[in-house]
Each structure stands twice: as C-alpha cells, then as structure tokens.
Amino acid sequence: MTTARDAEARAAAVFEALADPTRRAVLRDVAEQGPRTATQLAADLPVSRQAVAKHLAVLRSAGLVAPARAGRETRFTATLAPLAEAGRWLDRTGQAWEDRLARLEARARRRETGGDQG
C-alpha cells in the first residue's frame, strides 16, 4: 500500500533529479531519442561522459531512466511514470492550497458582512 509519505518521498526524488538543467537535458534526450548510452548523450552535451554517467545515476535513483545491457554497452530508456506521479502530487498539493485559500476568502467575506463573530 502506498502512503502519502511514500508518494511525497518519490516526488521529492523526481524534483531533486529535475532541479539540474543538465539532468533535464539528459532525460529529454533519452525520452525523445530512445535508448541512449552515456557516450551518445555526452556527445550532445557540454559535459564529459563521466559527468553524464553521474547524472544518469541520479535519474535512475529517481526512477526516471532504466538501464539495459546490450553487449558491452548500457543503454538508458526513459521511464516517465515517476514524472506523472510527481505531477499528480503537484495537482493534489495545489488543490489543497486552493481549498485553504477558498475557505480563508469565505471567512473574510463573512467577517466583512458581520456573519462571523469569531
């Protein structure tokens, strides 16, 4: 059973992974180009293959990419389900804030009209 705390921890890992512009570029490239090696990804970026490998490790720990061995190469594919889950977390959190603000606004209006004495 998934708890709200588990969902929040997974969302935090996704947000942390996506906080870096190079990781966003790596994920975008993998998502758009299909399975890619760290060497292929580094050829399109202004960073070394080793740096790309480190970024891939962070993306992997967040569940955003999955490795697959093909001979001597490891190719990475995008797994976007964690991104969708993080989006749902944002939607729920945003809705909770909208609900709170609506209640606050309603209370303020009642006070303006004298309908709320406490």
CA torsion sign for 97, 99, 102, 104 is negative
The pLDDT value recorded for residue 34 is 87
How large is the average pLDDT for residues 30-45? 94
Burial state string for 101-114 with b = 16 or more CB within 10 A and e = fewer than 16: eeeeeeeeeeeeee
Please check the confidence at residue 116 and state whether its pLDDT lies above 70.
Answer: no
CA gyration radius, the chain: 21
Distance CA 94, CA 100 (A): 10
pLDDT single digits (tens) 44-63: 899 999 999 999 999 999 99
CATH class for the domain made up of 4-112 = mainly alpha
The pLDDT-based confidence of 1 (bands split at 50, 70, 90) is low
Distance CA 77, CA 57 (A): 13
How large is the average pLDDT for residues 69-74? 92
Distance CA 57, CA 67 (A): 10
